[in-house]
Amino acid sequence: MKTSELTYVFPKDFWWGSASSATQMEGYSKADGKGPNIWDYWYETEPNRFFNGIGPNHTSQFYSRYEEDIKLLKETGHNSFRFSISWSRMFPEGRGKVNEKAVHFYNQVINRLLDNEIEPFVNLYHFDMPLALQNEGGWESRSVVEAYVEYAGTCFALFGDRVQKWFTHNEPIVPVECGYLYGHHYPAIVDFKKAVQVAFHSMLTSAKAIEKYRSLSLPGKIGIILNVTPSYPRSEHPADLDAAEKADLLFNRSFLDPSVKGEFPQKLVEMLEEEGFLPSYELGDLDIIRENTVDLLGINYYQPRRVKAKEHLPNRNAPFMPEFYFDTYDMPGKKVNPYRGWEIYEKGIFDILKNLQENYGNIECFISENGMGVENEERFINSEGIIQDEYRISFYKDHLKWVHQAIQEGANVKGYHVWTFVDNWSWLNAYKNRYGLVSVDLDQNYKRTIKQSGYWYKELATNNGF
Of 26, 119, 171, 377, catalytic = 171
CB-based contact 457:77 (threshold 8 Å): yes
Under DSSP, the state recorded for 330 is -
Number of Cβ within 10 Å of residue 447's Cβ equals 11
What's the start-to-end Cα distance of the chain, in Å? Answer: 9
SS3 46: coil
* Closest alpha carbon to 186 in 57, 361, 46: 46
Kindly report the number of other CB atoms within 10 A of residue 143's CB atom: 12
**In what helix (H) or strand (E) does residue 453 lie, and over which residues does it extend?**
helix 452-463
Calpha distance 253→359 (Å, rounded): 11
The length of the chain in residues reads 466
C-alpha span between 233 and 308 (Å, rounded):
6
Phi, psi values for residue 175, rounded to 5°: -60, -30
CB 230 within 8 A of CB 215: no
Q: Which residues pair with 123 in a beta bridge?
A: 84, 167
How far does CA 23 lie from the centroid of its chain? 13
* Annotation says 384 is catalytic: no
Q: Using CA atoms, how far apart are residues 226 and 168, in angstroms rounded to an integer?
A: 10
Distance in angstroms (rounded) separating the CA atoms of residues 325 and 54: 37
Q: What are phi and psi of 198, to 5 degrees?
A: -60, -45
The DSSP call for residue 10 is P
3-class secondary structure, 315:
coil
Burial class (CB in 10 A: 0-12, 13-18, 19+), 100: exposed
Distance CA(465)–CA(11), nearest Å, equals 9
Residue among 26, 245, 369, 377 flagged as catalytic: 369
> Does 369 qualify as catalytic in the annotation?
yes
For Cα atoms 93, 220, 130, give the angle at the middle one, nearest 5 degrees: 15
Name the strands in the sheet holding 231-233, side by side, starting at the edge strand that comes first in the sequence.
231-233, 305-308, 327-328
Active-site positions read 171, 369
